[in-house]
Structure 1
Amino acid sequence: MSCITNELIQKYIDGETNLEERVFVKDHLTNCESCESKLIAHRKRAIDIKNALNSLTENTIGIPPMILPLQVNKRRLVLKRRLIYALSAACVLLFCIIIFPTNRDLKQNEISMLQSFDEDYDANLPISQQKMIINVVDPTGKVTEFYVE
């Protein structure tokens, strides 16, 4: 009977043998003491190698903290943007009102005209055929009304 090779013993230790090889190795080990001592030596060497490798590594494993991304509520972002845009527009408008005041005095030759339509406004007629009231305010504050038909 031929003895087991070192490769087959290593495959048997690692659990890489198929069913036929496993049966052959078990039967042979019951009859051959030298192969059984080889198997014990290989197992001891494998255990020594694993222990040597384990001693090189640290036993503590640092697990970094799990950082979950913030769930962004899209509707809330849209509302925030709208609020920012509205506040920006209000600031620009306020800035323009402060820089360019509108309460300028009327010059002597300026006349203000206000026009409005009579109550009997007909939407089917062109604007040139509508009855209008034109109010003219001169610089002294006198109001003159004109009726245009």
Structure 2
Amino acid sequence: MTLKIAVLLLAAGIATVPALAQQAPLPGTSPGAAQAAAPNTAQGETLAQFQAAARQRMLKADTNGDGKVSAAEWAAAAQARGGAGNGGGFADRMFARMDSNGDGFVDAAEIDAMSAQRFARLDTNGDGIVSADERAAARGRMAGAGRGPDGN
């Protein structure tokens, strides 16, 4: 139950990230050229946008401002969000998965790596953009299997 709540909170946070990006035309080019060069992010979210949103969301737990999240900060943030904190060791297990170098902290590079893996699982058609349809399919898989939107 705690896992489902945490995953739903994560999915809700991701779904609320605006995926709109506009690029002004470069001098000497037409507005259409700028639009052609930019990915159609109105239809979804690119890897860079996905990673930036994950960093912003997860680094909110960095209460001492050192640019990384300790296990204690992570557990406190989970509890403050109304989760069970470390009920059943969930926060510890999730933190250990993200702390890929085992230094006791999760930094931006580890968040980016984890986000890239999750993005690859969500981007089922491999076009480099996670669409609303791909998000909906992930939510359906999560509801059907009792697992997260990334299949874990």
Assess same fold via TM > 0.5: no
- TM-score (ref. length: structure 2): 0.16
Instruction: Identify the structure with bigger relative contact order (alpha carbons < 8 Å, sequence gap 6+).
Output: 2
Q: Which has the higher helix share?
A: 2
- Computing the radius of gyration from Cα coordinates, the structure with the larger value is 1
Q: Which has the higher strand share?
A: 1
